[in-house]
Amino acid sequence: MAANDPESDSENFLKQFCIPNYILVPDSEREFLPEPTCPILVFINSKSGGQLGGDLLVTYRSLLNKNQVVDLLEEAPDTVLHRLYLNLEKLKLNGDELSPKIQERLRIIVAGGDGTAGWLLGVVSDLKLSPPPPIATVPLGTGNNLPFSFGWGKKNPGTDRRAVESFLRQVKEAKEMKIDSWHILMRMRAPAHGSCDPIAPLELPHSLHAFNRVASTDTLNMEGCHTFRGGFWNYFSMGMDAQVSYAFHSERKSNPEKFKNQLSNQSTYAKLGCTQGWFCASLRHPSSRNISQLAKVKIMKKHGDHEWLDLPISQSIRSIVCLNLPSFSGGLNPWGTPNTKKKHDRGLTPPFVDDGLIEVVGFRDAWHGLVLFAPNGHGTRLAQAHRIRFEFHKGGADHTFMRIDGEPWKQPLPVDDDTVVVEISHHRQVTMLATHDCRSKSVHDPSSPTNNDSDGDSSEEDAAGEEWRKFGAADTFKIPDEVEVDISHLS
Are residues 201 and 89 in contact, defined by beta-carbon separation less than 8 angstroms? no
Report the pLDDT value the prediction gives residue 5, as an integer from 0 to 100. Answer: 65
Is residue 216 exposed (0-12), middle (13-18) or buried (19+ Cβ within 10 Å)?
A: exposed
| Tens of pLDDT, residues 253-292 | 666 655 555 555 555 555 544 554 444 544 455 555 678 7
Which residues in 146-161 are b (16+ Cβ under 10 Å) and which e? bbbbbbbbbebbebee
Task: Give dist(CA 161, CA 128) in Å, integer.
Answer: 33
Instruction: Please give the average per-residue pLDDT across 8-35, as a whole number.
Output: 90
Q: Classify 198 as helix, strand or coil.
A: coil
Is residue 393 exposed (0-12), middle (13-18) or buried (19+ Cβ within 10 Å)?
A: middle
Are residues 315 and 292 in contact, defined by beta-carbon separation less than 8 angstroms? yes
φ, ψ (nearest 5 deg) of residue 387: -145, 150
| Tens of pLDDT, residues 434-444 | 999 898 999 88
Instruction: Please give the average per-residue pLDDT across 376-394, as a whole number.
Output: 84
Nearest by Cα to 408 from 262, 210, 200: 200
pLDDT confidence bin for 94, thresholds 50/70/90: very high
Instruction: Please give the average per-residue pLDDT across 340-356, as a whole number.
Output: 80
pLDDT confidence bin for 88, thresholds 50/70/90: very high
Cis peptide before 131 (omega within 30 of 0): yes
β-bridge pairing 295-300 and 387-393: antiparallel
| Global confidence as pTM | 0.78
Is the pLDDT score of 243 beyond 90? no
Highest mean pLDDT among 261-265, 448-452, 454-458: 261-265
Task: Give dist(CA 354, CA 440) in Å, integer.
Answer: 10
Instruction: Please give the average per-residue pLDDT across 79-98, as a whole number.
Output: 95
For the chain, how many residues are written? 491
Report the pLDDT value the prediction gives residue 260, as an integer from 0 to 100. Answer: 58
φ, ψ (nearest 5 deg) of residue 240: -65, -40
Report the pLDDT value the prediction gives residue 11, as an integer from 0 to 100. Answer: 87
Give me the amino acid identity at 35. E
Nearest by Cα to 226 from 235, 234, 238, 218: 218
Lowest mean per-residue pLDDT among 37-46, 55-64, 69-78, 150-159: 150-159
Is the pLDDT score of 484 beyond 50? no
| Tens of pLDDT, residues 297-327 | 999 998 888 899 999 998 888 889 999 988 7
Sign of torsion over alpha carbons 90, 93, 95, 101: positive
Calculate the average pLDDT of the chain: 78
Is the pLDDT score of 359 beyond 60? yes
Nearest by Cα to 293 from 436, 176, 396, 405: 396
Lowest mean per-residue pLDDT among 27-31, 59-63, 99-103, 253-257: 253-257
Instruction: Please give the average per-residue pLDDT across 65-85, as a whole number.
Output: 95
List strands edge to edge, sheet with 319-323.
380-385, 358-363, 319-323, 235-239, 399-404, 407-412
Task: Give dist(CA 38, CA 56) in Å, integer.
Answer: 20
Is residue 416 exposed (0-12), middle (13-18) or buried (19+ Cβ within 10 Å)?
A: exposed
Task: Give dist(CA 266, CA 201) in Å, integer.
Answer: 21
Q: Classify 345 as helix, strand or coil.
A: helix
Nearest by Cα to 209 from 71, 72, 405, 70: 405
Report the pLDDT value the prediction gives residue 114, as an integer from 0 to 100. Answer: 83
Lowest mean per-residue pLDDT among 43-47, 60-64, 190-194: 190-194
State the alpha helices, DSSP H only, in 258-394. Answer: 262-275, 281-284, 291-294, 340-346, 366-369
The secondary structure of residue 257, as a DSSP letter, is G
Report the pLDDT value the prediction gives residue 145, as an integer from 0 to 100. Answer: 84
Task: Give dist(CA 383, CA 388) in Å, integer.
Answer: 10
Using a pLDDT cut of 70, give the percent of the chain over it. Answer: 68
